[in-house]
Structure 1
Amino acid sequence: MSALPEMSPLLETRALSRDFGGLRAVDRVDFSVDPGEIRAIIGPNGAGKTTFVSLVCGRLAPSSGTIIFDGADITALPAHRRVRLGIAYTFQITSVYAQLSVFDNVALAVQRTLADGRSKDPSRGRLRTGVTEALERVGLAGRASLPAGQLAYGHQRLLEVAMGLALKPRLMILDEPTQGLGDGEIENFVALAREIAANATVLLIEHNMDVVMQLADRITVLEAGRVLAEGTPDAIRANEAVQRAYLGGGA
Structure 2
Amino acid sequence: MSLLEARGLICHFGGVKAIDGVDFDLEPGEVHALIGSNGAGKSTLVGLLSGRIPVQAGSIRFDGRDITRLPAHARVACGIAYAFQITSVFPRLSVFDNVALAVQRTGARDLRAGTMAALDRVGLAALADRLAGALSYGHQRLLEIAMGLALAPRLLILDEPTQGLAAAEIDSFKALVRSLPATILLIEHNMEVVMDLAGRITVLGNGRVLARGTPAEIRANPVVQAAYLGGRDADA
TM-score by length of structure 2 reads 0.97
Match of 1:216, as an amino acid? A
Q: 2:66 aligns with which of 73, 77, 86?
A: 73
- Give the aligned partner of residue 218 of structure 1: 200
Matches within 5 A, 1:98-247: 98-114=91-107, 119=108, 122=109, 126-196=110-180, 199-247=181-229
Q: Residue type matched to 2:15 in 1? A: G
- String of CA shifts for 1:10-57, please: whole Å, max 9, x gaps: 001000011111111111100111101110000001111111011111
Provide the aligned length of Structure 1 versus Structure 2. Answer: 233
Q: Which has the larger radius of gyration?
A: 1
Please point out which of 92, 101, 105 is paired with 2:85.
92
1: CA distance, partners of 2:140 / 2:207: 29
Q: Secondary structure at the match of 1:16?
A: strand
Q: Equivalent of 2:11, from 1, 7, 18?
A: 18
Distance 2:72 2:159 in 1: 16
Identity %: 65
Structure 1: distance between partners of 2:86 and 2:142: 12
Matches of 1:177 and 1:12, distance apart in 2:
23
Superposition RMSD in Å: 0.7
Kindly provide the CA deviation profile for residues 198-240 of structure 1, in whole angstroms up to 9, marking residues without a partner as x. Answer: x210000000000000100000000111100000000000111
Q: Within 1, Cα distance between the matches of 2:35 and 2:221?
A: 13
Q: Which amino acid in 2 is paired with 1:192?
A: L
- Runs of 4+ aligned residues of structure 1 deviating over 6 Å after TM superposition are none
| Runs of 5+ consecutive residues of structure 2 not aligned to the other structure | none
Q: 2: CA distance between counterparts of 1:250 and 1:58?
A: 29
Cα separation, 2, equivalents of 1:32 and 1:67:
10
2:76 corresponds in structure 1 to: 83
Q: Could you give the per-residue CA deviations for residues 54-102 of structure 1, whole angstroms, max 9, x where no partner exists?
A: 1111111111110110011100111111101100000010000011011
Question: SS of 2:158's equivalent?
Answer: strand
